[in-house]
Structure 1
Amino acid sequence: MYSHLAPDWYNWHEFVLTDAFDQFVSRSPPSNSGDYVSHDRYNLLEDGDNDNTTSIISIDSSVHGVPKLEAYMYYNGVRGGKRGPKLIYRTSTDVLPFPFGPFQYVRLIQLLTVHEHAKLSKDNLWSKIRDQTVQLLDDKQIKFTSIDLVRFRWEDCPMERTSGEIVTSSVTIWIGVLPDSTNGDAAFNSAQDIINLLKQHDINDIDVAFRESVVQPLTQPILYAPVDDLHPLKKVIDWLTTPLSLPIAGMKTRDIQGALGLYFKVGDDLYGVTARHVLFPDTEGNELYRYDTTLPKKNVILMGDRAFDDLLASVTNSIGFLKRSLDNLKERIKLYTAKATGGDQEAAEVLVRQRRHLDIDMEIILSLKRFYATLRMDWANVNNRVIGHVVWSPPITGLNPPHGYAQDVCVIKLDKDKFLPNFRGNVIDLGTQIEMIEFMMLIRPQRDAPSKLIYPLDCLYQLKDILAAAKFKKPNNKDKEGDPTRFVFKRGPSTLTTIGRLNGFESYERRYSLLGHFDSVQAAVYPHDKTSGLFSSLGDSGAAIVGTDNDFVAQLNAGTGSAGDSCDIIYGTPMEWLWTVIQAEFPNAVLFFDDPAPN
């Protein structure tokens, strides 16, 4: 891409200052100033349901099938504003309001975490019931994909569309099943088995619901968000700096992309950690890998081919956006110059500000052009983007004792010469997508809620501890409705900086393949609210999920939702357990270390 602009031997630092380069960027499409999460137009017949002859208010052929309108609309909002998954069956008795009004108002429902239950919180009972639920579903040959403990919240809005009562559902065992694999009757029968299981423990306050869902690892070529800020260099340079969540790919698998989740040191050597599935495709098998000095290295690069092309495009898009703004600004300067010449004092004052604005924008454009030239000359050759090589990666395994977590880890020995000059340790760059005030309001919606988080002035959030898995159940915050929760956030190549809610009870996930299925227990993260957008998407695998006490929480590795990039729930391996796995192979590994800030 862009090879037609100038010959390979061309001096890019000279070329970006020519009219030919300006003509190219002027053809770049305008930036999209909207959110990175699109709010899809609602379509009741999406996801493969193409039976257009069937009424949307009809039910499926089973006795316990739900109305089609309810199937496709009930969970609207659980993905943070995107259309929700298809409902198969539920035991709850609330009534979904029919869309009304000229704008067809549709109720939004929010996914809430669960941190305490009178019975499930004691004696590890949830783990026992969760595992017995797996057996019950298998006995009924239900092709389930996930078992989560959730609650829901919505506004019981009256027909006049004024503010209504806030309703919070009962705790619900939320079961995902493969699309088109289960009907209402099968789900009903399984739900009765689960309810009977709960009754054996004198539990009568939990609902059961089934929805269509697919669990998938979150690897994929990434697309960078369009740049539309007046300080675009900050946004486009993120993935060439040293904080965590750098986009990485294998030298020979440059179409598969993930993130670097943490750093550690052994002596003077520097290592990085990601998920194994980011660098080892299924075609390479699932055997223990240790680097053999007699064999070629399995090199890891910064950004795959698609990601690098997208980075180039984001820079030219930024330049094009600013140049279009400058054209408008120059016309305004002409107007105010004429007025100021005629003696208009107010116009003269405005003219000073406009000229200052013009000078600043021209400096930014020049910086972007120089950065583009640096990318083409120093980073375009994929060999220059090699940042290290894999030294150890055990096979991916699930249901590992004692907790049932997934082992999906890969350790990379990093090229110190490329990191140490500007290295800051395990820090997350919070980026520019969420302004400081908005970020703090999302992290602490209640002013009187306790929080140790102090927003760093340089946007580099330092990690200093690991959150114990036992603390997942203990909320340390409240949302704007006063509901206890524990907020977490992450920085990923695909969805950048996002904030979510860590569930207090772990989930069970199942992935299917030609060779059977893969099961594991996972920490679960839900979207921040019903309009916040997805917490994560394809391309974020390996990223660190972190807490508000400068602590690692989990390594992101999968999500459940529609096949593609719409995830209801994000899964991760608790960092407390994962770090013990790494230390077993690297007993002298140090996770938290002091590196002086660059001068």
Structure 2
Amino acid sequence: MEVEFRESELVRSVGPSLRRLAHSPDEKVDINLLAPLSTALPLSIAGQATDHMEGTGGLYLAEGGGSKNVLLLTARHVLFEPSSSDSKVNREFSRPHPSAPRRKVALLGTKAFKELVEEFQAKIKHYNEALRLGKERVERAENYMKSKDQATAESANERLENFQLQLQQIITESETLQGYKEFHRELMTQWSVPRLRTIGHIEYAPPIVFGGVESFTLDYALVTLDIDKFKNSFQGNVLHLGRRPHSYCIGDYLV
């Protein structure tokens, strides 16, 4: 009887899964703000050991050889401290065996996450400002209609209907504001801790070589992804090119 021992590795995922990015008329949140938390490329990433450095992952690769692993291609300088080609720290990095310590990679570094939160806060503030301005204009027009000056009253009456329509449009889109508030809460409760944004670990990174083959610089790293965070939303090498964001127009104001 032969007995074969194999080394296995169990890693439990923590934190939320990435979103599937799709244009939908029913989506309450601007797709440009959802993109950073989706599987669409490029992914904004940072090494958890070098969270002050940020960059992007630009291409998904299948590991092959019967493996179901999916790799993310990025630049070495995104995940390792900058170094010259003759520096002692500019060495090949690889995990010698599955139980070796992992250098984890997170979706969104500290700065990128802070900027995303601020964008959501700005959207909420802008919507509230649009609502405030709309109500003020309707109220002002109603007051002018009470004027004893006939010309002033008639002018206010003509503008009142337009102001009321604009205000009603904003009010009927109250679900939009609620969508931003709900997603802002999700950001702060489920994504705010870097550990919860972990999406994989560095698998391999050769040393940076300047002026290599045909004078090109060799600078890349491979990240093994936590597939559990991708499997329900993975779309392959799909790029998000963005679209023009929605704005609220109120008379001379653009919010």
TM-score by length of 2: 0.70
Distance 1:298 1:359, change over 3 A: same
Superposition RMSD in Å: 2.8
**Aligned position for 1:375:** 187
Matches within 5 A, 1:137-156: none
Distance 1:275 1:429, change over 3 A: same
What's the CA shift for 1:251?
A: 0.8
Q: Write the distance in 2 (CA, Å) between the matches of 1:290 and 1:331.
A: 63
Is 2:77 the counterpart of 1:290?
Answer: no
Letter of the aligned partner of 2:32 in structure 1? K
**Aligned position for 2:200:** 388
Count of aligned positions: 203
Is 2:60 the counterpart of 1:263?
Answer: yes
Given that 2:43 and 2:56 are in contact with CA atoms closer than 8 Å, whether structure 1 keeps it comes out as: yes
Is 2:76 the counterpart of 1:276?
Answer: yes
Q: Write the distance in 1 (CA, Å) between the matches of 2:37 and 2:142.
A: 42
State percent identity of aligned pairs.
28
Letter of the aligned partner of 1:388 in structure 2? G
What's the CA shift for 1:336?
A: 5.4
Given that 2:199 and 2:226 are in contact with CA atoms closer than 8 Å, whether structure 1 keeps it comes out as: yes
Given that 2:131 and 2:170 are in contact with CA atoms closer than 8 Å, whether structure 1 keeps it comes out as: no
**Aligned position for 1:202:** none
**Aligned position for 1:425:** 236
Q: Write the distance in 2 (CA, Å) between the matches of 1:275 and 1:350.
A: 53
**Aligned position for 1:239:** 36
Matches within 5 A, 1:10-409: 233-266=30-63, 267-282=67-82, 285-292=89-96, 293-335=98-140, 344=157, 347-348=160-161, 351-360=164-173, 362-401=174-213, 403-409=214-220
What's the CA shift for 1:350?
A: 5.1
Q: Which has the higher helix share?
A: 2
**Secondary structure of 1:407's partner?**
coil
Q: Which has the higher strand share?
A: 1
What's the CA shift for 1:239?
A: 0.9
**Secondary structure of 2:54's partner?**
strand
Q: Write the distance in 2 (CA, Å) between the matches of 1:237 and 1:428.
A: 13
Q: Write the distance in 2 (CA, Å) between the matches of 1:328 and 1:347.
A: 14
Q: Residues 236-266 of structure 1, C-alpha deviation per residue, up to 9 Å, x if partnerless?
A: 2221111112111111110000101111113
Runs of 5+ unmatched residues, structure 2? 1-27, 147-152, 247-255
Q: Residues 139-184 of structure 1, C-alpha deviation per residue, up to 9 Å, x if partnerless?
A: xxxxxxxxxxxxxxxxxxxxxxxxxxxxxxxxxxxxxxxxxxxxxx
**Aligned position for 2:22:** none
Given that 2:44 and 2:55 are in contact with CA atoms closer than 8 Å, whether structure 1 keeps it comes out as: yes
Q: Write the distance in 1 (CA, Å) between the matches of 2:29 and 2:133.
A: 19
**Secondary structure of 1:390's partner?**
strand
**Secondary structure of 1:237's partner?**
helix
Distance 1:422 1:340, change over 3 A: farther
Q: Write the distance in 2 (CA, Å) between the matches of 1:327 and 1:398.
A: 57
Runs of 5+ unmatched residues, structure 1? 1-230, 436-599
**Aligned position for 2:3:** none
Distance 1:338 1:287, change over 3 A: same
Given that 1:340 and 1:348 are in contact with CA atoms closer than 8 Å, whether structure 2 keeps it comes out as: no
Distance 1:385 1:325, change over 3 A: same
**Aligned position for 1:534:** none
What's the CA shift for 1:332?
A: 2.1
Q: Write the distance in 1 (CA, Å) between the matches of 2:136 and 2:186.
A: 32
Matches within 5 A, 1:417-566: 417-432=228-243
Distance 1:290 1:246, change over 3 A: same
What's the CA shift for 1:279?
A: 0.4
**Secondary structure of 2:113's partner?**
helix
Given that 2:92 and 2:205 are in contact with CA atoms closer than 8 Å, whether structure 1 keeps it comes out as: yes
What's the CA shift for 1:434?
A: 8.9
Given that 2:138 and 2:160 are in contact with CA atoms closer than 8 Å, whether structure 1 keeps it comes out as: no
Distance 1:424 1:338, change over 3 A: farther
Q: Write the distance in 2 (CA, Å) between the matches of 1:294 and 1:269.
A: 16
Distance 1:337 1:232, change over 3 A: farther
**Aligned position for 1:4:** none
Letter of the aligned partner of 1:233 in structure 2? D
Given that 2:94 and 2:204 are in contact with CA atoms closer than 8 Å, whether structure 1 keeps it comes out as: yes
Given that 1:336 and 1:351 are in contact with CA atoms closer than 8 Å, whether structure 2 keeps it comes out as: no
Q: Write the distance in 1 (CA, Å) between the matches of 2:123 and 2:245.
A: 19
Q: Write the distance in 2 (CA, Å) between the matches of 1:345 and 1:433.
A: 32
Q: Residues 372-400 of structure 1, C-alpha deviation per residue, up to 9 Å, x if partnerless?
A: 10011111121110000011111111222
**Secondary structure of 2:90's partner?**
coil
What's the CA shift for 1:340?
A: 9.3
Q: Write the distance in 1 (CA, Å) between the matches of 2:202 and 2:130.
A: 46
Q: Residues 121-149 of structure 1, C-alpha deviation per residue, up to 9 Å, x if partnerless?
A: xxxxxxxxxxxxxxxxxxxxxxxxxxxxx
Is 2:218 the counterpart of 1:414?
Answer: no
**Aligned position for 1:27:** none
What's the CA shift for 1:433?
A: 5.3
Q: Residues 380-433 of structure 1, C-alpha deviation per residue, up to 9 Å, x if partnerless?
A: 1211100000111111112223x2211101000111121221222112111135
**Secondary structure of 1:358's partner?**
helix
Letter of the aligned partner of 1:257 in structure 2? E
Distance 1:410 1:380, change over 3 A: same
Given that 1:232 and 1:318 are in contact with CA atoms closer than 8 Å, whether structure 2 keeps it comes out as: no
Q: Write the distance in 1 (CA, Å) between the matches of 2:162 and 2:90.
A: 69
Q: Write the distance in 1 (CA, Å) between the matches of 2:244 and 2:166.
A: 27
Q: Write the distance in 2 (CA, Å) between the matches of 1:350 and 1:327.
A: 12
